[in-house]
Amino acid sequence: MTKIVLLGAPIEAGAGRRGCVMGPNAFRTAGLAEELEALGHDVADLGDARPEEVTGIETDHTHLKQLDTVAGWTRALHSQAKKLARCDALPIYLGGDHALSAGTVSGHAALAAQEGRPLFVLWLDAHADFNTFASTQSGNLHGTPLAFVCGLPGFDSYLGGPVPAAVDPANVCILGLRSVDGEERRLLQSTNVIAHDMRAIDEHGIAPLLAEFLDRVQAANGLLHVSLDVDFIEPDIAPAVGTTVPGGATFREAHHVMEMLHDSGLVSSLDLVELNPFLDVKGRTARLMVDLTASLFGRRVLDRVTRSY
């Protein structure tokens, strides 16, 4: 049995379209807590976090959208994540757009540093989210959290200063890439981030690529934060996301990843992000994300019940 805490983060300020604010309640309605409890886990829902009030951030980058709001969420979630990382329960953060990970990952990294352990990050996403304030073309801040937590410069306004404990880029694995901006690609290639696009998955298979990374986490006695974006998955089966990119992970590839993560026993925290129920079809994407989470927490193929959507 695992103790699990759920914390909603209904942020949509980082995304380019509205709807992610409904994500946390869609996960609840789709039965996330009940599915995990049916597997024998102890689940507590802490409700939704609330952003700190931040106003008047000055920036030279006038194209950035809703910087004050995203900074308020980052500060609140950073504080919450540090507290939850000290507890004996595994936190699941219910998004909300991917900007929330600036707070969750930085909070867990700060606590890991205090404990003298490295934090590793598995980023399951069609996008690298490795833009800086200067490089982002859209100004949508859900494209920046991974660059922030890896300590790239220019993000002081997020926490009112530099990230307190940057994640070593060599401890980050992005899996499922299909869309990377030009300058973002240069930034990514200037670091030691492990980045596997869908061609690498086609050529080598998803299991060997993930297994190599998990072996590194195990060897380093690391903590593992997993950040699962809906757009990691093929949009034909997971349409409820505002940034659809064709050619994503298949149903079986996505479940295989979750099953391998469960078998590893390494996951210490989890983000579920970018679910936009306004774009869903009869709750199909929310149910799939719940099913994937159940696989991460031990549900086997023989445990699954066939559903009619």
Q: What are the boundaries of each domain within the chain?
A: 3-303
Catalytic residue among 12, 35, 129, 259: 129
- The token duo for 121 is 């990050």
Nearest to 122 by CA among 237, 254, 9: 254
Catalytic residue among 12, 97, 184, 229: 229
Catalytic residue among 78, 108, 142, 225: 142
Task: Judge whether 142 counts as a catalytic residue.
Answer: yes
Helix (H, G, I), strand (E, B) or coil at 173: strand
**Separation of alpha carbons 47 and 7, rounded Å:** 6
Task: Judge whether 42 counts as a catalytic residue.
Answer: no
Task: Judge whether 125 counts as a catalytic residue.
Answer: yes
- The token duo for 45 is 């829902």
Mean pLDDT within 57-81:
94
**Separation of alpha carbons 77 and 149, rounded Å:** 13
What is the side-by-side strand order in the sheet with 194-197? 42-48, 3-9, 90-95, 267-273, 223-229, 119-124, 172-177, 194-197
pLDDT band at 300; cut points 50, 70, 90: confident
pLDDT at 301: 64
Catalytic residue among 12, 125, 234, 291: 125
What's the first-to-final CA gap in the chain, in angstroms? Answer: 30
pLDDT band at 64; cut points 50, 70, 90: very high
DSSP string of 241-265?
-TT--SS-B-HHHHHHHHHHHHHHT
Catalytic residue among 41, 78, 98, 196: 98
Alpha carbon separation from 136 to 207, 255, 275, 279 (Å, rounded): 32, 32, 22, 25
Task: Judge whether 129 counts as a catalytic residue.
Answer: yes
The per-residue pLDDT of the chain, averaged, comes to 95
User: Is the whole model's pTM more than 0.85, yes or no?
Assistant: yes
How does pLDDT run across 5-55, given as a tens digit for each residue?
Answer: 999 999 999 998 999 999 999 999 999 999 999 999 999 999 999 999 998
Task: Judge whether 236 counts as a catalytic residue.
Answer: no
Task: Judge whether 98 counts as a catalytic residue.
Answer: yes
Task: Judge whether 61 counts as a catalytic residue.
Answer: no
Nearest to 156 by CA among 80, 90, 83, 75: 75
* Cα 68 from chain centroid (whole Å): 21
Mean pLDDT within 264-291:
97
How is domain 3-303 classified at the CATH fold level?
Arginase; Chain A (3.40.800)
**Separation of alpha carbons 109 and 112, rounded Å:** 5
The residue ranges of DSSP E strands in 172-234, in sequence order, are 172-177, 194-197, 223-229
Alpha carbon separation from 166 to 37, 190, 219 (Å, rounded): 34, 16, 20
Catalytic residue among 78, 127, 196, 255: 127
Q: Which H or E run contains 162?
A: none
pLDDT band at 138; cut points 50, 70, 90: very high
Task: Judge whether 280 counts as a catalytic residue.
Answer: no
- pLDDT tops 70 at residue 203: yes
Catalytic residue among 97, 181, 184, 231: 231
- The token duo for 203 is 């050529």
Q: Are 94 and 27 in contact, with CB atoms under 8 Å apart? A: yes
Query: Residue 101, CB half-sphere, CA atoms under 13 Å: how many?
Result: 33
How does pLDDT run across 143-201, given as a tens digit for each residue?
Answer: 999 999 999 999 999 999 999 999 999 999 999 999 998 889 999 999 999 999 999 99
CB atoms within 10 A of CB 203: 9
pLDDT band at 62; cut points 50, 70, 90: confident
Q: Which H or E run contains 152?
A: none
- Tokens 């540090």, residue located: 82
- pLDDT tops 70 at residue 309: no
